[in-house]
Amino acid sequence: MEKLDINVNSEIGKLNGVIVHIPGAEVENMTPENAQRALYSDILNLNIALPEYNNFLGVLKKYTRVFEVKELLSDIIKDEKVKQKIVNKICILEQDTEKQFCQLVESIESDDLARQLIEGVEMSKDNLTRFLDNEHYCLHPLPNFFFTRDSSFSVNDKVMIAKMANGVRDREALIMEAIFDNHPVFKTTTVNPVTQFDLTKKATIEGGDVLVAREDILLIGTGTRTTTQGIDAIIEFAKTQEGTKHIIVQELPYKPESFIHLDMTFTFLDKDLCMIFEPLILSATRHLTIHITVESGKVVSIKEEKNILAALRSLGMDLEPIYCGGDNDLFVMEREQWQSGGNFFALEPGKVIGYARNVNTIEALHKKGFEVIRARDIVSGKRSIEDYKRAVVTIEGNELSRGGGGARCMTMPVNRQKINW
């Protein structure tokens, strides 16, 4: 198996490898009763979501090397020592002292165990207490795991392990850390910034809030999922690195829930283009943009900027914004932002993937020279994005978008080619 170095120095460099998770039974295992605990405001129909996802996955497989979480997990737990270490961590994390999972592990084969660690394990109702327990699982499903962006994220040659804002997702980060620490295909070092640098116990950080603008520039959102203490942990990590590092922080609204991460309001499209939700990124006055500069092991500057674009411009990155929802109607902007209209994933500079349902956003891209190509036409071989200088590949997303994320959310890049700025 050919090894792959972790190397992500931008959001747009040509994609050489990506990790995904195909949504499965863990999504169907949600009920109206447990959906809110699972951080969903609705229940997804897998029969509709999966064909949409498969078109998305088909495009990625046509274009780059694709790794699937469940397969990677199954590979590493074939090693008994690795398996026991992961299981022990999960048993402590899940506080499974009386709910059976840890007692069942020895009898489960590695392929099936990998599946159950993601899809959940049903509780055996074999005594009165369990019979009367309203809980259906001794190990809960992970219905958010197909958003692989959140639990770990690549920065330069390192993989950063997230500290999730909600405990129901902590197992995702634990699994991703185990994969990168143990799978022979990946050549990297994992860094858990919160574990290593935070003393406040208030730090959380998720990958949807972290964008690698350039080798020396990170954009990080702070809001419901990433705390200022989490960003402080990243600052402390930056102090250990060579050279000057810039961290541009964008405050996010706590409501509505569509502002869950920075990448729901800002994503990179090309060396000179980005997608933004204009009312927040350019027009908001209550939500600050802070520019932090780290050099020689210390913070040498921390100051307020007018907005993200101004901060990037001061560092030599001059980006023209395209507006999510178009630029004519605030109501349309808000509707399409809610539907992950600002959340695009770049295959290479100027070639991106997003949801077709956001018709005004797609039209805004088309006006800027992006050829609009349906994902199914790429998968069938009818069309190729190689034939165009700029292209937006559209996936239907009518069901997938109800999960609260877009194409960037569903991808965790591990290697991109270097950009010549």
**44 touches 27 (CB < 8 A):** yes
For residue 35, what pLDDT band results from cuts at 50, 70 and 90?
Answer: very low
Q: What is the number of other CB atoms lying within 10 angstroms of the CB of residue 389?
A: 12
What would the pLDDT profile of 208-238 be if each residue is shown by its tens digit?
999 999 999 999 999 999 999 999 999 999 9
Q: Which fold has domain 4-75+141-416?
A: L-arginine/glycine Amidinotransferase; Chain A (3.75.10)
Of the pLDDT bands very low, low, confident and very high (cuts 50, 70, 90), residue 146 is very high
Confidence of residue 38 (pLDDT cuts 50, 70, 90): very low
Which helix (DSSP H) or strand (DSSP E) does residue 60 occupy? helix 46-63
d(CA 161, CA 169): 12
Percent of the chain with pLDDT over 90: 78
Rounded Cα gap, residues 52 and 40, in angstroms: 19
- pLDDT for position 190: 97
Phi/psi for 342 (5° steps) reads -95, 0
Q: Looking at residues 145-163, what average pLDDT do you find? A: 97
Mean pLDDT across 146-156: 97
The candidate with the shortest Cα–Cα distance to 308, out of 255, 400, 246, is 246
pTM, two decimal places = 0.94
What's the mean pLDDT when you consider all of the chain? 92
Cα–Cα distance list, 117 to 164, 308, 373 (Å)? 17, 39, 37
CA 140 to chain centre: 21
Distance between start and end Cα atoms, the chain: 32
Q: Is 325 left (phi over 0), alpha (psi -120 to 50) or beta?
A: left
Domain boundaries, the chain: 4-75+141-416
Q: Is the bond leading into 256 cis (omega within 30 degrees of zero)?
A: yes
Q: How far is CA 124 from CA 116, 132, 141, 220, in A?
A: 15, 11, 16, 43
Reported residue count of the chain is: 421
Q: Which of 48, 144, 146 is nearest to 396 (CA)?
A: 48
- pLDDT at residue 303 in the model: 98
Dig out the tokens for 26 from the structure: 């863990």
Q: Are 277 and 324 in contact (CB under 8 A)?
A: yes
Average pLDDT (61-88) is: 95
Cα separation, 241 vs 173, whole angstroms = 23
Which has the higher per-residue pLDDT, 109 or 314? 314
Q: How many CB atoms lie within 10 A of CB 100?
A: 18
Chain segment 385-415, per-residue pLDDT in tens: 999 999 999 999 889 888 889 999 999 999 9
Question: Counting beta carbons within 10 angstroms of the beta carbon of residue 306, is it exposed (0 to 12), middle (13 to 18) or buried (19 or more)?
Answer: exposed
Closest CA to 416 of 59, 8, 61: 8
Residue 127 clears pLDDT 90, i.e. is over it: no
What is the pLDDT at residue 39? 43
206-232: b (≥16 Cβ within 10 Å) or e: bbbbbbbbbbbbbbbbbbbbbbebbbb
